[in-house]
A and B are shown apart, each in its own frame.
Chain A
Amino acid sequence: MKIQVGIGNKEELDFFLGAGADELYCGSSAVPGHLYGGGTFGSFRDIAGAVELSHRRGKKFYFAANEIQAGALAGTVSFVKELAAGGLDGVIVRDISLLAALKPERLPLEYILTSLAPCYNAGALRFYGELGVTRLALPEQLLPGEAEPLVRNGLGIGTEMFLTAREYCVVLNGLCYLKQFNGRCLCRAEFRPSGRKRFTMPGPTPAEHFGRLYDLHRLGVPVLKVGRHPTKGYSRVVFSEALAIARLLEAGLPRGRFVKLALASHGRMDDFLEKCAREN
């Protein structure tokens, strides 16, 4: 199983290349992208340098342009073309108009459809495949049985998945406008409706997350993804967990045993993260 990690700066690039990441990606402040506070590389030169350094280490490097481009469309296309000329391996995309603009350029790139896109069925994957998509980041809220037609799609489109036990939105990420109420993410809030018991938005348990991960791995999803994160060091911890989980997945354990060991690893990481938060 390969591990893909999002990075925000040169320090993270050096760290994750040394730590064993197989694929890396970044965004740029020059191009609209979807992230919750993680850093972006500032300049074209920084990204081109990251591509070169990654290739010297035998790793792939992608660029995230995974938001609606609107007025930035032409600039984004030019930016991606330049990066492609410099050896970029792929681009992570959400905007259909960006896919349509890039397709005739015939760039030698992997076109990765972001998990934010509404690609939940084989017909939708065909739609995006016709726009040039070559890999799908599975939507977080897709059960393994539902994902099977997308993973075994017969279209030559690859797949990747997030370590959802650590990075998961209770609502559909990319279609969430809950922050407009009080500037905070409401999906984890506890609501107190009048005359009713407390309400929280439902989501899977860690055990359910790991069970799904196991099943998706068995279906053949080859890439485990770690996203960018605003807190320094957080993505390093998640990456460590991803490495541990990948080793467990590749050990060929029975499902129940895998989930038990994964939960234990997850719990240790929770303790570590809590300790870091206290110390900071």
Chain B
Amino acid sequence: MRKRELEKAAGLELPEIKSASRRFLREQACVYVGSEFCQNIWPAAADVEALFSRGARRVAVMTSFMVTEGLKRAQDSLSGILERFGNVEVVVNDPGMLLYLNEFHPEVPKSLGRLLSIDFMRMGPDYRREFFRLHRLSALETDEAGLLRNLPAAPGFRVHLHYPLKYAAMSRACPFVRRITLRCGRKCLGRTLRLPVPDSRRELFAVNNAYFFEYDPGTPAGVDRLVRHVSGA
């Protein structure tokens, strides 16, 4: 069996784009920006341009669940990015975004994001394979190292493992602005709340509108890309 070559990639929060060194960006197989959890966080075309002009080889735009207005906003922004830049892939967590990309940008590489992939990693293999084929998904993003054993050795798509934060929960009511809003001023960027869990030695990390705990992925088998998030998720 062909040994899978493990790519190293990085996730950057939007404010980190300008401070990331050229060397760092060149070293990554792919740079992830945006958010799989908050529809208010997505890169502008200028952010993507900054990444490519400073050495990034490939950019993955992460997208989340979206309400109708949020989806329209993301589609407009994403269209601008996809029309200007090659070497861009999109992480999809919203079925509406999936349909949109299939219809208007069918050639763009897409991966199934962490919010949807949890279910697909627990699903039977036959429909999962068919779903990926039907919707032209080339990869699955996950932070569920423990569920990797559910996938066959050759699942028919790439597997990208995110760390050091593992998803635990999310809310549309953002912990930083404390309400549901499409206009939050992105007050969460660059901030992480560390929340000691009662009766436990562990901590919960609040990043954007989601909650995570820290984990060590080790050296898991069956992974094509390791995505290390510098400070976000």
Which residues of A approach B to under 8 Å, CB–CB?
Answer: 68-71, 73, 94-97, 100-101, 118-128, 141-143, 146, 149-150, 170-172, 175-178, 180-182, 186-187, 189-194, 196, 199, 201-204
Secondary structure at the B interface, as helix, strand, loop or mixed, is: mixed
A202 near B175 (CB under 8 angstroms)? yes
Question: Are A122 and B96 in contact, with the CB atoms below 8 A?
Answer: yes
Instruction: Indicate whether B230 reaches chain A with its CB closer than 8 angstroms.
Output: no
A123 and B100 CA atoms in complex are apart in Å by 8
Give the contact-size bracket for chain B.
Answer: 35 or more
The B84-136 residues at the A interface (CB cut-off 8 A) are 93-100, 115-116, 118-119, 122-124, 127-128, 131
For chain B residues 149-189, which have a beta carbon within 8 Å of chain A? 167-175, 178-180
Contact A97 B175 (CB under 8 A): no
Q: Check A97/B123 contact, CB under 8 A, given A118-B115, A123-B97, A193-B194.
A: yes
Contact check, B195 vs A97: say whether CB atoms are below 8 A apart: no
Write the chain B residue with the least CB distance to A190. Answer: B198
Please determine whether A199 and B68 come into contact, CB atoms closer than 8 angstroms: no
| Residues of the B chain whose Cβ atoms lie less than 8 Å from the Cβ of A196 | 193
Interface of A is mostly: loop
Cross-chain contact of A170 among B131, B173, B198 (Cβ < 8 A): B173
- Which residues of chain A have C-beta atoms less than 8 A from B220's C-beta? none
B67 within 8 A of A: yes
Say yes or no: A123 contacts B211, CB within 8 Å: no
Q: Which residues of B are found within 8 Å of A192, using beta-carbon distances?
A: 196
* Nearest CB of A to B207, in Å: 14
Q: Is B70 an interface residue (CB 8 A)?
A: yes
Bound Cα distance A177, B118 (Å)? 11
Is B199 interfacial (CB-CB < 8 Å)? yes
B202: Cβ under 8 A from any A Cβ: yes
Kindly list the 9 A-B residue pairs having the minimum CB-CB distance in the complex, ordered from nearest.
A123-B96, A97-B127, A127-B95, A171-B169, A124-B96, A191-B195, A146-B67, A202-B178, A121-B68
8 Å CB contact of A178 from B131, B179, B211: B211
